[in-house]
Amino acid sequence: MEAFNFKVRVPVGIHVRNALLLSQKTVHYQSNIALHKGNRVANAKKLMDIMILRVRCGDEILFIMEGPDEKEMLNGVREFCEKNL
């Protein structure tokens, strides 16, 4: 299992475009990835799951990855977040 926290910096939070890009990024990995905001959890491979979390600027989110390529996924998702969220 791999995990990391991230504080969203973009003024609009995770809106449709960023959620779509995130889900497209994660779907290429075999590992499962959960996105946590408070007590709510979403599958980060599914656009609507991400949108339902309503992540806003300044929110702290947690990514948890489990599977055969979790380390590669961790690096790829962390890089994506730094550039886009």
Going by the DSSP 8-state scheme, the letter that residue 31 receives in this structure is S
- Nearest-5° Cα angle at 83, 77 to 85: 80
Question: Is 36 considered catalytic here?
Answer: no
Within 8 A by CB and 6+ apart from 44, the residues are 22, 23, 26, 33, 34, 35, 50, 63, 77
Neighbours of 8 (CB within 10 A): 19
Of residues 9, 15, 40, 54, which has the active-site annotation?
15
Catalytic residue set: 15
